């Protein structure tokens, strides 16, 4: 278990805290993983007593689907761990109150004044909060460890991400900083490394001699979910591609690390991100497709288009879909394209990484041969499948594709929320599953060509909407991967 510590959540009454964070903390605590000396300080701009915050948290836990079944009396005991402070994040007072909470925690359960600060706030507050903590000496580790978790989006482009990193580093050492990408907390994402480096049979095939191409898909059926304020500013490139998809790409394409530790793994991720050929804005039309959903039918129901969502401008040019081809300039992947796609209001929720192998060198069977596919189903129906050809029973030599399938349910265990894994790792000081500064920086560099081509002063107005809700995105995405390859039907 971690050492005695206080978890300080800025933005504790926000949506993320309510839906994901608090249920994850409760689950960890109830399972005894946070140790006995642990408490939570919620911090917000809203005036509230400890009592009212307690009510809020209990209500949030009861209403979230992600909350584990509470043991008898557990909610009441959890409530005793909760404190609340409020104030203006630009001033000093709120941080001094937080400091007093840390003193109180130390008196209550002894030990050092360890604290994990979780910034679950709008991005415009990351810097003021980090500075405020710094001004009041709360980043200083002489009385206990101090760590800071920063939610996404980490910047809105390369320049602002660099400014944010510089501002954070004026207060914190990189070893204290945990930038969260919740995809890295998913069991199935970690399993990518387990399968690649825990088996002898896959890695020898994992290169340009055997792999034809790789497809990474993160399809969402959801639309905006009332997040227009954020999404209109972000769009799909910042919301999904720059972080979640880029992380999936890095784990799939990186070289084997020398050890399973934070620096070795992150060094390899950065190395492969550096090998991705930069996309100059003028090449964007060749290698990328953007889209925005119009009205359509999903699961038999009519749903509005993006421009009809509450809070969205009628002429909005924000993309909700992107497909892109990455070329990787290194020995392993020369000539092997990586196709990434993600979008909202697609026909279903599915995230998958598919390694598509080359055809056998000699096609000696009637009807030809198909490409073998090793597919990692990140979610839902978590698992791994291998598709290959087999003789179909009968007199003739006819081949059919068959699938060997491993499903996570075989373990009989419930998959934990990614937030609980990442929170616990941060409490334990393990940064393996958190993107490092240079990774985030490089990921911004890679997408900056797209942002410039689509948002820069010379950007042409997109022909939006260009895919109906409930379909697999704009037709141009088929041309991007084609003509001799096609997107997997998922
Ligand atoms: C978030 C994005 O980071 O990830 C959302 O802001 C998106 O727009 C979500 O819906 C997807 O996460 P998951 O875990 O449901 O695939």
Q: Specify the pLDDT at position 413.
A: 83
Low-confidence ranges of the chain (pLDDT < 70): 111
Catalytic residues: 244
Q: What spacing in Å lies between the alpha carbon of 236 and ligand 1's midpoint? A: 10
- What residue's CA is closest to ligand 1, atom 8? 239
Which pLDDT belongs to residue 415? 85
Nearest CA-CA partner of 417 in 9, 25, 1: 25
Whole-prediction pTM value? 0.95
Q: Give me the sign of the Cα torsion angle 31, 15, 250, 388.
A: positive
Spatial neighbors of 42 by CB under 8 A, at least 6 apart, are: 9, 12, 13, 17, 48, 53, 57, 82, 83, 84, 85
Q: What is the pLDDT of residue 35?
A: 81
pLDDT of amino acid 37: 85
Q: What ipTM does this complex have?
A: 0.99
**Is 273 marked within a binding site?**
no
Q: What is the pLDDT of residues 298-322, one digit of tens each?
A: 999 999 999 999 999 999 999 999 9
The SS3 assignment for 179 reads strand
Report pLDDT for 361.
87
Rounded alpha-carbon distances, angstroms, from residue 87 to 167, 213, 240, 311, 490 = 22, 52, 32, 28, 48
Pocket test residue of 219, 236, 239, 379 for ligand 1, highest count of atoms within 8 A of CB: 239
Residue 203 neighbours by CB distance under 10 Å: 13
Residue 221 annotated as lining a ligand binding site:
no
> Which DSSP category does 473 fall into?
S
Read off the pLDDT of residues 55-113 as tens digits, 9 standing for 90 and up. Answer: 999 999 999 888 999 999 999 999 999 999 999 999 999 999 999 999 999 888 776 79
**DSSP code string of 199-247:** -SSSGGGSSTTTEEEEEEEEE-----TT-HHHHHHHHHIIIIIIIIIHH
Pocket test for ligand 1, best of 154, 183, 231, 240 (most atoms within 8 A of CB): 240
CA distance 434 to 463: 37
Rounded to the nearest whole angstrom, what is the distance from the C-alpha of residue 357 to the centroid of ligand 1?
29
Confirm whether residue 344 is marked as ligand binding: yes
Spatial distance between the Cα atoms of 406 and 408, rounded to a whole number of angstroms? 7
Q: Residue 77 pairs with which residues in a beta bridge?
A: none
């Amino acid at each position: 278990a971690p050492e005695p510590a206080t978890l300080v959540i800025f933005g504790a009454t926000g949506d993320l805290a309510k839906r994901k964070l608090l249920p994850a903390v409760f689950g960890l605590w109830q399972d005894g993983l946070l140790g006995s000396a642990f408490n939570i300080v919620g911090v917000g701009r809203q005036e509230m007593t400890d009592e009212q915050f307690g009510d809020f948290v209990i209500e949030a836990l009861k209403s979230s689907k992600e909350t584990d079944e509470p043991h008898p009396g557990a909610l009441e005991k959890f409530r005793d761990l909760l404190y609340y402070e409020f104030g203006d994040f630009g001033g000093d007072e709120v941080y001094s109150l937080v400091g007093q909470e840390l003193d109180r925690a130390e008196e209550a359960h002894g030990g050092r004044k360890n604290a994990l600060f979780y910034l679950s706030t709008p991005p415009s507050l990351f810097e003021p909060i980090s500075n405020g903590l710094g001004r009041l000496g709360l980043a200083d580790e002489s009385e206990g460890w101090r760590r800071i978790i920063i939610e996404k989006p980490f910047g809105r482009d390369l320049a602002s991400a660099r400014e944010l990193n510089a501002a954070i580093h004026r207060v914190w050492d990189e070893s204290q900083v945990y930038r969260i990408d919740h995809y890295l907390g998913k069991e199935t994402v970690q399993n990518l490394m387990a399968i690649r480096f825990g088996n002898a049979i896959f890695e020898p095939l994992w290169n340009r001699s055997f792999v034809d191409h790789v497809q990474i898909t993160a399809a969402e059926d959801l639309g905006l979910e009332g997040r227009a304020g954020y999404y209109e500013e972000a769009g799909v490139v910042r919301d999904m591609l720059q972080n979640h998809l880029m992380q999936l790409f890095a784990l799939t394409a990186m070289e084997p690390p020398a050890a399973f530790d934070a620096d070795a793994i992150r060094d390899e991720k950065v190395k492969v991100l550096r090998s991705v050929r930069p996309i100059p804005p003028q090449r964007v039309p060749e290698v990328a497709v953007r889209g925005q959903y119009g009205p359509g039918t999903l699961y038999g129901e009519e749903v509005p288009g993006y421009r009809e969502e509450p809070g969205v401008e009628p002429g909005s040019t924000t993309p909700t879909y992107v497909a892109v081809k990455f070329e990787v300039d290194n020995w392993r992947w020369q000539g092997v394209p990586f196709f990434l796609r993600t979008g909202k209001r697609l026909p279903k929720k599915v995230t998958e990484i598919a390694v598509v192998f080359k055809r056998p060198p000699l096609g000696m069977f009637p009807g030809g041969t198909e490409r073998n596919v090793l597919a990692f189903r990140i979610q839902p129906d978590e698992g791994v499948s291998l598709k290959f050809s087999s003789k179909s029973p009968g007199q003739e030599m006819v081949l059919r594709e068959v699938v060997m399938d491993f499903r996570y349910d075989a373990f009989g265990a419930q998959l934990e929320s990614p937030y609980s894994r990442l929170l616990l790792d941060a409490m334990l000081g393990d940064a393996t599953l958190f993107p490092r500064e240079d990774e985030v920086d490089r990921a911004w560099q890679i997408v900056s060509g797209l942002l410039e081509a689509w948002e820069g002063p010379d950007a042409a107005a997109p022909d939006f909407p260009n895919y109906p809700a409930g379909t697999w995105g704009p037709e141009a995405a088929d041309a991007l991967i084609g003509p001799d390859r096609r997107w997997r039907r998922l």
